[in-house]
Amino acid sequence: MYNLVIYIYLLGVAIASLFNEKVRKMWRGERDAFRVLREKVDPEAQYVWFHAASLGEFEQGRPLMEQLRREHPEYKILLTFFSPSGYEVRKNYEGADIICYLPLDTITNARRFLRIIRPVKAYFIKYEFWYNYLHILKHRQVPVYSVSSIFRPDQVFFKWYGKQYSRVLKCFTHFFVQNEVSKELLAKLGITCVTVTGDTRFDRVLQIKEAAKQLPIVEAFVKDAPLVFVAGSSWPPDEEIFIKYFNEHKNWKLIIAPHVIGEDHLKQIEKLLEGRKVVRYSEYSENSEYSEKLKNAEVLIINCFGLLSSIYRYANVTYVGGGFGVSIHNTLEAAVWGVPVFFGPNNQKFQEAQALKACDGGIEINGYDDFVRQMNELVAHPEELAKRGKAAGDYVMSRAGATKVILCNTFGC
């Protein structure tokens, strides 16, 4: 049944690639993967294989790859992606020796792929459970590890109709899971090679913090500002809430890094700002001719990528978008700086958001009135703002260390 579904999916991808650029990139990348491997694989080398579905999973696997590179340079690293949103952003990542798409999980593709690579170990990040690859790896006696995985009762593995597919989980040598619930669920399936290590993303955000960029343009904008609010990865429903508030509370400087930076969205944001003094990041360089306008601006819109994790450092309060849509974005990148983090209600599947709420470092809002009440409370009680910020930072620090535990268990300390 699984293989039939895969072939139907393959046909669907082929058809969709005619109409959708993202699907077309994935389709071409998967077909091109074997050429990349033939050209780049060193037959004398030993490869450790990391597979990440997309960019988020890559960030979870990155601390492992980089520490492995430092501690075991005798191994080469193969990194594969399923999604273009991961591959296209990280195809030039210097921490891996070979980067390509993972060919779709047919029996033929899996055998061919593993015959070329001959990995000595494999790490699948979080939600990756490819039936044919995993069964062939097990048959070849290759140790396979699931990293930063998290399980919930509503997943197919724990339903009566998912019993056959759940067998794929027994192909793993060991699970390094995020919480005790995941361990207990796996135990119900008879899987006991499980260690609760937490999430490697905590290690990653601490790395990001240590390597944070100095941003002279942002520093010029926030200079002498009494209070700074940074909204990251925001969507229109988020912006309609916090912009309305700051149009009435002009003693704050506002930095907005929207998730979508297309011109239509940027104009929509500027329209909401009701005549405020707004500047876009891309308008400026470090030239003195821009300094006065930048200094007098009230709102800075970040209309480029790659800066947000460093920008959070300038905030007194942060907001992470997406919680009024499909799901919230990365709250840890903000929390690591020791500042309170606001987010919308769609955060139930995110363990870190739940934990931030529990420790008072995260603040969930359900609409404008809720945001006003919470913000006014923080402004009226600066000691509460500081307390909540410390709670957020302490939470991130307390969860660090998963990378070391995983590598010690899979390579030895």
Tell me what pLDDT residue 139 has: 96
Of 12-16, 28-32, 45-49, the poorest mean pLDDT is in: 12-16
* Span 157-206, pLDDT tens digits: 999 888 888 999 999 999 999 999 999 999 999 999 999 999 999 999 99
- Report the C-alpha gap between 317 and 377 in whole angstroms: 12
- Beta carbons within 8 Å of 266's beta carbon, 6+ residues apart: 258, 280, 301, 303
- Poorest-confidence range of 115-119, 268-272, 326-330, 374-378? 326-330
pLDDT (0 to 100) of residue 289: 61
Tokens, residue 266: 């940027």
Alpha-carbon distance of 321 to 194, in angstroms, equals 33
Question: Above 80 in pLDDT, residue 2?
Answer: no
Tell me the whole-structure pTM to 2 decimals.
0.84
How far is the C-alpha of 72 from the C-alpha of 254, rounded, in Å?
Answer: 45
Helix/strand/coil for 169: helix
Number of Cβ atoms within 10 Å of the Cβ of 87: 24
* Element of type H or E holding 363: strand 362-364
